[in-house]
A and B are shown apart, each in its own frame.
Chain A
Amino acid sequence: MKITDEIRISDNGFVFNSKTGDSFNINPTGLELTKLIALDSDFDDIKEIFLEKYDLDDLTFENDFYEFCALLKHNQITVQEDPLDFK
């Protein structure tokens, strides 16, 4: 899963997709996740970072992470080339 080339993300969570013309606001944790995904970080690494930083359990994080990934994909912010790649 990678962030497409047409996506621009500002530091305050504003996301613009020049391909579709859509724009989005991402909340701070969403922005943090998006940035880590953009760096091609591994799920386990991202989880570790979040669990260390936030008052959060691993199952909640996993549930929220995959839901957020589905949102990114749905809004064409990321592409998932391999349908079995859930990262």
Chain B
Amino acid sequence: MEKMKYEKPGMTKINAGMPSKFGMPVKQKIVAEIDGITVSSLIEEYGSPLFVISETTMRNTYAEAKRAFDTRYPKVQFAWSYKTNYLDAVCSIYHDEGSWAEVVSGFEFEKALANGVDGSRILFNGPDKSKADLIMAIENNACIHIDHFDELYLLIETTREIGLKARVAIRVNLDAGIYPIWDRFGFNYENGDAWNAINRIMLAESLDLIGLHTHIGTYIMVQSAYAIAASKLANLYMAIHRKFDYWLKYIDLGGGFASKNTLKGAYMPGSETCPSFDDYAEAISNALISSEIPHENLPVLFLETGRALIDDAGYLLTTVLANKRLNSGRRSMIIDAGVNLLFTSFWYNLNVYPTRELGHAEESTIYGPLCMNIDVIRDAIVFPQVKTGEQLVIERVGAYNITQSMQFITYRPNVVLIDERGKTHIIRKKESLETFKHVELNPKRS
């Protein structure tokens, strides 16, 4: 006689008066494949855990963002935010789509040059630019976004020393109606610092002021904040024209567009609450077009969005190491990917999905493999019972997780790109002991 299918014995406490907040039954989503390639075959070939990046999703998302702005504003230029994900293969795809590079360090600048980006198409942001970095930027004709007065004076001194002119913009911080105000970067608009900096730059013969830049924050869920920021930069843009009879070339609204991830503590999922590219584009374009700026003198609009472009294209494939019932009765499981790979798990409730239909679901905690108490990927998620070895998929991890991942306790995994033809390529190799032997020195064993 054929035996019956077994389901793990389980029980669920009934909480009267506490139905699903959406009034709908929880339907477990299954992610069995990425761009037509099964998760099991990817793990079999490249190991677990494994970062996977979808070129198709990258290009589709970029096209969506570009269309949203191109249809509303005459001159738009994206600049890929290197810190969001600076794997060469990733950067090359955005450059192929037409993106410039937005970098925030000498290292990222060198990476952009090595990726074939013309120096004049690099926007150099950030508070840390050494003299050597500035010389590299000046010699490559990059757009240097000045962050503070010390940098401004160092730049004047450097240009005098090397006898070359620098193309510059200033970073402006401003009150866009959202809090906290990021006032640690750039010159303040409201207290006149930005205007003072502009006047100083206009007096410097070796500096060529060509733009204004702001970056109001990250994961901005209110598109109207961008409208306020754009209006204030437009005011500065016009003030410069009135005083110096000079038109700047661009206004750079930075990045900060939210991805569809859900912030911890949010009542509704990010996919329901975050503005779309169209929402952001409408707010920014309207603010610029309806400003005092004459239509024929509208500046090029630069956008440095990173997170919203790449987050959806990144996946982390992982495997269940163990199940455990905690003292509190709560079910928990341990997976082979920890917070050292998933920096964004500190502020997002990352989506974790099984790769096949599974049985009874209950509220669970998902721990990473690190021997550290803070290694919690999800502290509360309704998840089906899984066995050791079950493969899972964590979605929307393309932004910041790879660049901010930390080698800790174990090796960092392979990163694989699925190209538009469905072919897989390792774009960053898994670490091994050799990785560390290569950079470590031991004076006791020389």
Q: Is the pairing of A and B real? A: yes
Contacts of A23 in B (CB 8 A): 13-14, 16
Bits for A1-44, please: 1 = Cβ < 8 Å to B, else 0. Answer: 00000000000000100000011111111101100000000000
Q: Which of B6, B7, B16, B329 is A74 in contact with, Cβ under 8 Å? A: B329
B280-318 to A contact mask, C-beta < 8 Å, 1/0: 000000000000000000000000000000000000000
B4 contacts partner chain A, Cβ-Cβ < 8 Å? yes
CB-CB under 8 A from A27, the residues of chain B are: 7, 9-11, 359-360
A53 touches B4 (CB 8 A): yes
Q: Mark B1-29, 1 if CB is under 8 A from A, else 0.
A: 00111111111111010000000000000
Chain A residues within an 8 Å CB radius of B8: 29, 64
Chain B residues with CB below 8 A from A72, complex form: 11
The answer on a CB contact under 8 Å between B9 and A30 is: yes
CA of A27 to CA of B245, assembled, Å: 78
Name the residue on B nearest A74 (C-beta).
B329
Q: Which residues of chain B are near A68, meaning CB under 8 Å?
A: 9-11
CB proximity of B431 to chain A, nearest CB, Å: 33
A residues near B13, Cβ cutoff 8 Å = 22-24, 75
What's the Cα separation between A27 and B9 when bound, in Å? 6
Give Cα distance in the complex from A46 to B361, angstroms.
Answer: 24
B-side contacts of A86, CB under 8 Å? none
List, in ascending order, chain A residues with CB within 8 A of B323's CB: 67
Given contacts A70-B325, A74-B329, A75-B329, A30 and B4 within 8 Å (CB-CB): no
A82 is an interface residue with CB less than 8 A from chain B: no
Which among A15, A53, A64 has the highest number of chain B CB atoms within 10 Å?
A: A64
Chain A residues within 8 Å of B9, by CB: 26-27, 29-30, 32-33, 64-65, 68
Contacts of B359 in A (CB 8 A): 27
Contact-residue size bin, chain B (C-beta under 8 Å from the other chain): 20 to 34
Distance in angstroms between the alpha carbons of A24 and B6 in the assembled complex: 21
The contact string, 1 if C-beta is below 8 Å from chain B, for chain A 52-87, is 111110001000110110111011000000000000
What A residues does B16 contact at CB under 8 A? Answer: 23
- Output the least CB separation between A54 and chain B (Å): 4
Q: With both chains docked as a complex, state the minimum distance between the C-beta of A73 and any C-beta of chain B, in angstroms.
A: 9
Which residues from chain A contact B6 at a C-beta distance below 8 Å?
29, 50, 54-56, 60
Q: Could you tell me the distance between the alpha carbons of A53 and B359 in the complex, rounded to whole angstroms?
A: 19
Which residues of A are found within 8 Å of B360, using beta-carbon distances? 27
Query: Would you give the shortest CB distance from A25 to chain B, in whole angstroms?
Result: 5
Are B325 and A55 closer than 8 Å at their CB atoms? no
Interfacial chain A residues near B7, Cβ < 8 Å: 27-29
Tell me which residues across on chain B come within 8 A of A24, comparing CB atoms: 11-14
Instruction: State the Cβ distance, A18 to closest chain B Cβ, in Å.
Output: 14
B14 contacts across to A, CB distance below 8 A:
22-25
B325 near A25 with CB under 8 A, answer: no
Give B384-397 as 1s and 0s: 1 = Cβ < 8 Å from A's Cβ atoms.
00010000000000
A75 to B15, CA, bound (A): 13
- By the criterion CB–CB under 8 Å, are B4 and A55 in contact? yes
Report the bound CA distance from A14 to B198 in whole Å: 73
Q: In the docked arrangement, what's the CA distance between A53 and B3, Å? A: 6
> Given A67-B325, A71-B325, A26 and B5 touching (CB < 8 A)?
no
> Can you give 23 A-B contacts (C-beta < 8 A)?
A15-B11, A23-B13, A23-B16, A24-B11, A24-B12, A26-B9, A27-B360, A29-B9, A30-B9, A30-B11, A32-B9, A50-B6, A54-B3, A54-B6, A55-B6, A56-B6, A60-B6, A64-B8, A65-B9, A67-B325, A70-B325, A74-B329, A75-B13
Query: 9 more A-B contacts (CB under 8 A) besides A26-B11, A54-B4, A55-B3?
Result: A15-B11, A23-B13, A25-B11, A27-B7, A27-B11, A28-B7, A29-B7, A56-B6, A74-B328
Where the two chains meet, the residues of B that have a C-beta atom closer than 8 Å to any C-beta of A are 3-14, 16, 323, 325, 328-329, 359-360, 387
Top 10 A-B pairs, shortest CB-CB distance: A30-B9, A74-B329, A54-B6, A55-B3, A68-B9, A29-B9, A56-B6, A26-B11, A23-B14, A25-B12
